[in-house]
Amino acid sequence: MKEIKTIGVLTSGGDAPGMNAAIRAVARGAMCHGMKVMGVRRGYHGLLRGEIEELNSRSVSDILQRGGTFLQTARSKSFATEEGIKKAVEVARIFGIDALVVIGGDGSYKGARALANAGLPTIGIPGTIDNDIGCTEYTIGYDTALNTAMQAIDKIRDTASSHERCSVVEVMGRNAGYIPVNLAVANGAEAVIIPEAPYDLDEIKKTVIEGRNRGKSHYIIVVSEGVGETFELCKNIEEATGIETRATVLGYVQRGGSPTLIDRVTATKMGSYAADLLANGTINRIIAQQNGKIVDIEINEALEMTKNIEPEMLELVKKMSI
Ligand SMILES: Nc1ncnc2c1ncn2[C@@H]1O[C@H](COP(=O)(O)OP(=O)(O)O)[C@@H](O)[C@H]1O
Ligand SMILES: O=P(O)(O)OC[C@H]1O[C@](O)(COP(=O)(O)O)[C@@H](O)[C@@H]1O
Ligand SMILES: [Mg+2]
């Protein structure tokens, strides 16, 4: 394989706090190895359009602490086609990009694998608030999103408590329950509803009614957006319990904001690790965290890996709701 002299870096899929820290670390890490770094704007969409410019150590200054992604991001339908992949590889070749670092989620990795199969070496870095990537125990943005949502639910709880209401709070995570389950524990929810596990609405109503009988003044039910039944749930609980029940959809509040220490440090470690791999000529890998350590996994193998919500976490929510 020819020596990697120039690398590209892009962010793809939903933005996540810490993506900027990862871009900075990839760029500065690569520069330390004498590589040239090209920033690709707007994810795969921008790659197709040649929205590419060289980065230097100053173009990535003052971004470490900022949420979002200064390269911007996109979801691109036209990229995810045979034609799109072919064109993307061609554009990379025109700009002299020997390998591409993709910071994004599971969808972006499928794109990275397609590029690798078409001849453009890639490295994936996990960047998504959802923490829904099977090969890694941690994804950049997850801790910030959890802390932001936790603080928001604390505020909702103040109002629920003052008015003696029940609050059904819908949180993000697509089809994965990592965000809701952790929030339910951190915010002392009566119940959590996630796409991975069946739920018993009668049991939830019972928990709320019994809680009131024991003197509770507020009730929090955390629901994953992936369940898709937030407003029906709210109505059902109110009708069955007679307790005024309000729904709050946290939405994008969870995705923005300055990254926490964990996200800054993890992003910096992973970004620098990606640059080291490419400097050594190691390609088509996904960076992951396993047992607290940063590792790299072959891309096909990484995409086959799965992980599960610990049932103990669901048990813990139940136990603590008495
Ligand atoms: N199967 C696929 N093949 C090629 N590209 C894909 C595939 N799935 C997703 N992508 C590309 O990756 C982009 C980001 O994926 P998405 O699932 O939206 O976000 P994330 O990477 O954060 O999970 C998509 O808009 C698309 O361009
Ligand atoms: O608002 P968007 O960009 O359409 O997407 C919403 C989705 O993006 C996320 O915030 C992040 O998901 P991805 O990292 O897979 O893009 C999900 O939790 C949510 O389902
Ligand atoms: Mg995803």
Q: What is the mean pLDDT of residues 158-169?
A: 97
- Predicted TM-score of the model (pTM): 0.97
Q: Is the CB of 140 under 6 A from ligand 2?
A: no
Q: Which residues contact 321 (CB under 8 A, 6 or more apart)?
A: 188, 189, 190, 191, 207, 211
pLDDT digits (tens, 9 = 90+) for 291-314: 999 999 999 999 999 999 999 999
Residue 62 annotated among the catalytic residues of the structure = no
The ligand whose atoms approach the alpha carbon of 117 most closely is: 1
Domains and CATH numbers, the chain: 6-141+259-304 (3.40.50.450), 142-255 (3.40.50.460)
Q: State the pLDDT at residue 33.
A: 98
Handedness of CA 43, 47, 52, 57 (dihedral sign): positive
Q: Which residues line ligand 1 (CB under 6 A)?
A: 12-14, 44, 75-76, 79-80, 104-108, 110-111, 114, 128
User: How far away, in angstroms, is 102 Cα from ligand 3 center?
Assistant: 13
Pair 23, 125: CB distance under 8 Å: no
pLDDT digits (tens, 9 = 90+) for 132-154: 999 999 999 999 999 999 999 99
Q: What is the mean pLDDT of residues 175-198?
A: 97
- Which helix (H) or strand (E) element contains residue 269? helix 261-279
pLDDT digits (tens, 9 = 90+) for 227-256: 999 999 999 999 999 999 999 999 999 999
> Which of 312, 274, 272 minimizes the C-alpha distance to 123?
274
User: How far away, in angstroms, is 68 Cα from ligand 3 center?
Assistant: 16
Q: State the pLDDT at residue 2.
A: 78
Query: Rounded CA gap, 216 and 164, in Å?
Result: 8
Residue 163: strand, helix, or coil? helix
